[in-house]
Amino acid sequence: MLGGRYYATFIKSNGMSRIGKNPIKLPSNVTVTVSDEGLVRVNGTRGTLSQLVNPAITVKVEGDIVVLERKSNQKAHAALHGLYRSLLQNMVIGVSEGYQKVLELVGVGYKASAQDGVLELSLGYSHGIFFVVPEEISVRAEMIKGKNPLIYLEGIDKQLVGQVAARLRMLRKVEPYKGKGIRFLGEHIRRKAGKSATK
């Protein structure tokens, strides 16, 4: 019987291998080119993304299908196989549909406004915060009376959109008692009960 550690490793590697073998279907508005050096460029209506692929992985474009192959069945190559397949799939979705994150500001007096790629935030501190958003990301803020302010982040790079959203959340972490802070829209926060004065 396999030990727990080796069994978990086997499952992880096998799972990544299965992911890597799945071909990527290209929408009609997306093209993929591969250079001799292994640089994959994905073009779509929303923009262009590129990714340098490890020499252990070969990327082939066959009509409207992208297929990734690995040089061996080594565990490291199998992991790379799944990794690059996921990255390229994300790139295809990004240049054709884009990615969006919506953040909600929960707290009395919290405000947000956006202009020329700069977010101005009031988060309950004694000073305002100016957050510069990378030019690859479009940002807008929504303030509706009676509702919590919302921040919309949109871009073609899934990783970059996620990183910017994570940095914004760090500006005012959600506290577990009243739930105040910056959270993803619809995110469930596990609340803690306050200390009771009664004995």
Determine whether domain 99-184 maps to CATH 3.90.930.12. Answer: yes
CA distance 189 to 92: 32
Helix axis angle, 75-96 to 158-171, nearest 10°: 80
* Matching residue, tokens 């202009």: 115
- Fold agreement (7-96, 99-184): yes
Domain ranges of the chain: 7-96, 99-184
Q: What is the pLDDT of residue 2?
A: 42
Q: What is the pLDDT of residue 188?
A: 75
- Tens digits of residue pLDDT in 106-121: 999 999 999 999 999 9
Better pLDDT: 154 or 193: 154
According to CATH, the superfamily of the domain at 7-96 is Ribosomal protein L6 (3.90.930.12)
Q: What is the pLDDT of residue 18?
A: 74
Q: Is the pLDDT of residue 178 over 60?
A: yes
Taking Cα atoms as reference points, which of 121, 115, 124, 136 lies closest to residue 47? 136
Q: What is the pLDDT of residue 13?
A: 47
Query: What tokens were used for 130?
Result: 């100016």
Instruction: Grade residue 128 by pLDDT with cuts at 50, 70 and 90.
Output: very high
Query: What tokens were used for 50?
Result: 């590129």
- Tens digits of residue pLDDT in 3-53: 444 333 333 445 555 777 899 999 999 999 999 999 999 999 999 999 999
Query: What tokens were used for 26?
Result: 């290209």
